[in-house]
Amino acid sequence: MSTNLVNLGRVDYLPTYEAMQAFTAARDTATRDAIWLCEHPPVFTQGLAGKAEHLLAPGDIPVVATNRGGQVSYHGPGQTVAYPLIDLRRTGYYVKEYVYRIEEALIKTLAAFDVTGHRVPGAPGIYVRLADPFSHAALTGPFAGADPFNGLGKIAALGIKVSRHCTYHGVALNVAMDLSPFSRINPCGYAGLQTVDLSTIGVSTTWDEVAGVLGQKLSTYLAP
């Protein structure tokens, strides 16, 4: 059974979150898996473990409490958001591998634009070298040690929820957006973590192009 790729366009966060919950609550073993692709108007989302002190100055941007894992994140125009709605019992793999596969899909999506994405142990999401985001070298030397983010910028954030063995929430990949709201929070709970997008590191592309690649990579890497 193939995954249903759905492009929602620009949609408000809260009703999309509620729709994911409703889809997951109503689905059964015959329900086709889906990946929803969208972008949101400006919004801060707070995960279950979220601490108020990581919201530094939300100002006029709304804050929505959610039931995903992780801390506070920001969504806004110019960011490709993907919500995989996957029945893990059907896939035959568990949550840890699910996260790994999502990150692999992100890395392969970035590679399609000649950008090298990296994992940082213990910090879900994908990062790029700020000095040379196109370098294929592994993270070593100055990137290891006391500050795991030294010389890195975060380009994709991940936060998931699993209910009755079915996933929702997902991943956000920064394409070409106003990055200033990230300075109003500690992104994903890390003070001073720099956030970047494809535009900042010199990649000229469109939201639609990135959404198309990310949707296909997620379909491939999340398949059973």
Domain map (residue ranges) of the chain: 4-221
Query: What is the CATH architecture of 4-221?
Result: 2-Layer Sandwich (3.30)
Say which range, 54-68, 126-140, 207-221, has the weakest mean pLDDT: 126-140
Looking at residue 146, its pLDDT comes to 61
The pTM of the full predicted model, rounded to 2 decimals, is 0.94
Looking at residue 140, its pLDDT comes to 66
pLDDT tier at 144, thresholds 50, 70, 90? very low
What's the rounded Cα separation, in Å, for the pair 138 and 107? 13
- Is it the case that residue 51 has pLDDT exceeding 90? no
Q: Verify whether residue 188 is a known catalytic residue.
A: yes
Determine how many CB atoms are found less than 10 A away from the CB of residue 12.
13
Which strand ranges, in their side-by-side order, compose the sheet holding 72-75?
Answer: 63-65, 43-46, 72-75
List 173, 188, 210, 222, catalytic entry: 188
